[in-house]
A and B are shown apart, each in its own frame.
Chain A
Amino acid sequence: MATAGFWGDLALAPGRSETLDYGTLRLMVERTQREVWLHIGRASGDDGEGEALRRWAIPEAARLSVRPAAPDRLVVVSQEHPFHLPSHAEARVYVRIPLFVRVVASWPGSSELVIADVPSIVLSDTWWGTFTEGELAYWLTTTARAEVSDDVFLPHVAMCPFRFANRSEEALPVERFAVRVPHLTIFADGARMWTDEVRVRYAAAAEGSEIGFGGRPPAESPNAERVAAPRIPTRRRFHARTFGRLLGF
């Protein structure tokens, strides 16, 4: 029997195992006296890497926990229904980001050891940049929604509030945009997972848009608890390319 979307300490006695489901990920954690075995599988139909086994030798006193984490690369959001943002206008949309699942081992006298860091849903790869330079990213097709309701929350998916401000003199077509998820902080408000708010100010500048991260729970869940720090700590604001697509032959 698998437990769905569980986050927290995993109390496993030697010789016992636990199966956990997150999105398309099926994670079986098996504990022996001095080892932990992780069976990482995928639901059928998902283009994952297939069944994988990871075996770690850890002290008997080690404690295990399962924690959410932001994806390890930026996510390019492709909208099913693109919209245009008029000049000098603002818009706030919500994007659902599938989380990574981290299994962490810790024991007295040692720092925490990440023994698994796998996506709850395997996203396709894409390229963000030009033909000569750029970075590998995940591809996410979504309907960037203007409102959220309780039924869209899932334990393995974080809701990311995105605020666009078009400071240019032309309307901004928002068809694809990059979410720099390694800089996001994850919050939990009960079963509802959130990220901090991302603010993007577009001014048609050569250096890209100005991107800012709230660093605190979004206004919708002000009392949400921080459950994961950003993978890549960063300044609150920086400039990077956020809009556009790679065309060409």
Chain B
Amino acid sequence: MSAFAPVRLVQEAAQLPPAPLADAIDSLSLAPVVRTVVVVAIGVPLLYVAAKWTRRWVAHHMNLQAGLVAGKLVFYLGVTILAISTLREMGFSLAPLLGAAGVLGIALGFASQTSVSNVISGLFLIAERPFVVDDLIEVGGVLGRVMSIDTISVQLRTFDNRMVRIPNETLVKSQVINITRFPIRRVDVQVRVSLREDAARVRHLLLEIADRNPLSLMEPKPIVVFERFGESSMDFMLGIWTVQGNYLAIKNSIQEEIKRRFDAEGIEIPFPHRTIHVGSASETFPVELPDGARRGSLDEPV
């Protein structure tokens, strides 16, 4: 019996009607695998193209930030649909999976509170738009240009070329300073002069320096504020308005010009000094020389 079995099997197969290739693959249970591979092979590149196209279209018609978010939404939605399709092709029933997902969801919910909070915070950031991509912002002492606003976090590039990732939740809770939101900006320069100088002359000179600087705007006009009498100086603040792009250039050039003009005009920029009086405001500090010590002169080498 066993010796003739293969022969009979071949004979039975020869008597079968010719089957199409798909049926043959089906009969070997390869069809779901092939279909899954086809779905993934076509679906994934399509998904990338769709996300990229959406990002470009939305960025062109709205703004770059909205484009980034829309692209990601399309991508993640597509991934979800693709995953469900693949599972179905593989013959998995989604009903028990969804049931399990409910239980798993509770567990994941507890585990991913922070992530969910970041996602929701991200939505608030997108709706409120306190900053957009390319803005210069300061958060918790970190100053940098916004590279991207993602679902979970915002990425900054600092001036020394480091990447800083800030979770969206932190941004919602923190004070964010947007430095480049408005097109013009005031550059404040602190200036100290000796107490013996004429304050009105100093004010006049500072305004003249500001007026002559080609990067300074005529309006809003520059201002000079006499802030206080310091311990060794009169403290002024010179505020000059300029367009955002000129901030650093004017900050450098104006201080160089102040130094040059003050030197030329004989206006003293003081160093901290202190006069010590003992007992009386008019008498000098008594110095007692030890026995044998010789009274010297400042001109003699020590």
Contact = CB atoms under 8 A, between A and B. Distances in A.
Interface of A: 47-48, 76, 78, 122, 124-127, 131-134, 136, 139, 245-249
Interface-centre pick from B211, B216, B220 (highest chain A CB count, 10 A): B220
A246 B243 contact: no
Given A47-B214, A124-B214, A125-B214, A133 B219 contact: no
Interface-centre pick from B217, B241, B243 (highest chain A CB count, 10 A): B217
B219 A76 contact: yes
A139 B219 contact: yes
Interface in B205-263: 211-212, 214-220, 223, 241, 243
A119 to B, nearest CB: 12
A47 B211 CA distance: 11
Contacts of A249: 223
Interface-centre pick from B182, B216, B219, B243 (highest chain A CB count, 10 A): B219
A124 to B, nearest CB: 5
B243 A124 contact: no
Contacts of A76: 218-219
Contacts of B215: 125
Contacts of A125: 214-218, 243
Contacts of B211: 124
B266 interface: no
Which 3 residue pairs are nearest across A and B when measured between Cβ atoms? A126-B218, A139-B218, A47-B214
Contacts of A134: 183-184
A234 B134 CA distance: 32
A124 B218 contact: yes
A134 B212 CA distance: 23
A127 B214 contact: no
Interface-centre pick from A122, A245, A246 (highest chain B CB count, 10 A): A246
Contacts of A139: 218-219
Interface-centre pick from B182, B184, B243 (highest chain A CB count, 10 A): B184
A139 to B, nearest CB: 4
A127 B211 CA distance: 14
B183 A133 contact: yes
Contact of A131 (B182, B212, B216, B243): B182
Given A47-B212, A47-B214, A127 B223 contact: no
A109 B215 CA distance: 41
Given A76-B219, A127-B219, A246-B219, A136 B243 contact: yes
B40 to A, nearest CB: 49
Interface residues of B, number: 15
B212 A127 contact: no
19 contacts: A76-B218, A76-B219, A78-B218, A124-B214, A124-B216, A124-B217, A125-B243, A126-B217, A126-B218, A127-B219, A127-B220, A127-B241, A127-B243, A131-B182, A132-B183, A133-B182, A133-B183, A134-B184, A247-B220
B216 to A, nearest CB: 8
Contacts of A132: 182-183
B282 to A, nearest CB: 44
B183 A126 contact: no
A218 to B, nearest CB: 28
A78 B243 CA distance: 20
Nearest to B242: A125
Contacts of B218: 76, 78, 124-126, 139
Contacts of B212: 47
A76 B219 CA distance: 10
Contacts of B241: 127
A248 B220 contact: yes
A96 B241 CA distance: 27
A132 B191 CA distance: 28
A126 B217 CA distance: 4
Contact of B184 (A122, A124, A131, A247): A131
Nearest to A133: B183
Interface in B166-196: 182-184
Given A127-B184, A127-B241, A132-B182, A122 B219 contact: no
Contacts of A126: 217-219
Given A124-B218, A131-B184, A136-B243, 6 more contacts: A78-B218, A122-B214, A124-B214, A125-B216, A131-B220, A139-B219
B186 to A, nearest CB: 9
Contacts of A124: 211, 214, 216-218
A127 B182 contact: no
Contacts of A47: 212, 214
Nearest to B211: A124
Contacts of A122: 214
Nearest to B181: A132
A122 to B, nearest CB: 7
A51 to B, nearest CB: 15
A47 B218 CA distance: 14
B227 to A, nearest CB: 14
